[in-house]
Copies of this chain bind each other. A is one copy, B any other.
Amino acid sequence: MATIYEVSALAGVSLSSVSRVMNNHEHVSEKTKVKVKAAMETLGYRPNAVARSLASNRSDCVGILVSQLHGPFFGDILTGIEEELRAAGKHSIIAAGHSDKTIEKESIDFLISRNCDALILLVDAVCDEYLIELNKGKTPFVIINRRVDGLEDRCLYLDNHLGGYLATKHLIEQGHRNIGYISGPLSIEDAKARLEGHKEALSEFDIAFEKERCYEGDYLTQSGQDGANQLLNDGRQYSAIACANDEMAAGAMKGIRDHNIEIPSGCSIVGFDNVYFAEYLYPKLSTIDYPRIEMAKMSAQWILKNVYKKKSITINNIFSPTLVPRDSIRSL
């Protein structure tokens, strides 16, 4: 590993000149530029980002913390952010929080200790107070999919309540009244909000919410299947089931079919998120679109604007879900 020393020696200039060339400083003569670049070339010199970061207190890296590294939701978020940052010449350092308070904190410490210029956080285990405290530190951050009082300007989130409302309202408008609900983990805010939206729609049409018609899942396919099984075995009538995400909807579809019930003729279903495979399910899944890629890109732009002082973009903090009707809902 050649260092800046060897380059400076070979080029016959000082360390500072080499550094200047590396960093495209102005006020460097064409002559030294050429000499330095030639020396770098012949030595196969690669700048040491760690030393650079230590000396300059910058890193051109933004840390990204998501709950999981897999799944259609987080995958899209990661890709959206990474592409936006890459286009701006910034690097991404990605970590996983596993929806665990301790791991989320450790991961944030890790990203900060690696000198990230900023963070993009998609965390659901740490409390608001922690984030408010974090905001007093020197590393700026933006939060996705969560609204923290006092940090509104750095929060980008979906109106989950509205999404839950839209899904159930649509079912009701198609004539459904016996509606089951498979929720996400109710310890998580977004899952709670979606359920609240569901309840609001029911109430608007004078349908009583019965907690027996609600199954608490964990956002994974298996729990969707389990939820469908439990609901369909509970003796109640169901003409439709709303799910708090598409993965559970896929699981529920399997569960429904295992009961020899056809979709949507025997039971309708609606999902949430509009992940890429939703339209490849059969029947094509009606769902609620979550503009996560747009949000992901917006989070990156927030950083570019506020941290890297790039050309100003208008930041939008709250995003709206929209209904995507497909073939999984029968009109009664």
A interface vs B, CB < 8 Å? 1, 46-51, 53-54, 59, 68-72, 74-76, 78-79, 82, 86, 91-96, 103, 109-110, 112-115, 138, 221, 250-251, 253-254, 257, 276-277, 279-282, 284
Contacts and interface: CB of A to CB of B under 8 A. Distances in A.
8 contacts: A50-B53, A50-B113, A50-B114, A70-B72, A71-B75, A79-B96, A94-B95, A254-B284
Given A47-B113, A48-B115, A69-B82, 15 more contacts: A1-B138, A49-B113, A50-B53, A50-B114, A50-B115, A69-B78, A70-B76, A70-B79, A72-B72, A75-B75, A86-B96, A92-B96, A221-B276, A250-B280, A254-B282
A262 to B, nearest CB: 11
Contact of A79 (B48, B49, B69, B280): B69
Contacts of A281: 280-282
Contacts of A254: 279-280, 282, 284
Contacts of A138: 1
A299 to B, nearest CB: 15
- Chain A contact residues: helix, strand, loop or mixed: helix
A221 B92 contact: no
Contact of A114 (B49, B79, B282): B49
A282 B282 contact: yes
A45 B114 CA distance: 15
Contacts of A78: 69-70
B46 A112 contact: yes
A75 B70 contact: yes
A54 B46 contact: no
Nearest to A221: B280
Contacts of A221: 276-277, 280
Contact of A282 (B71, B76, B253): B253
Given A49-B114, A250-B280, A279-B254, A94 B69 contact: yes
A94 B82 CA distance: 11
Name, among A46, A50, A54, the residue most crowded by chain B CB atoms within 10 Å (CB to CB).
A50
Contacts of A1: 138
Contact of A109 (B46, B110, B282): B46
A95 B92 contact: yes
Nearest to A113: B49
B79 A75 contact: no
Contacts of A93: 93-94
Nearest to A71: B75
A115 B114 CA distance: 11
A291 to B, nearest CB: 16
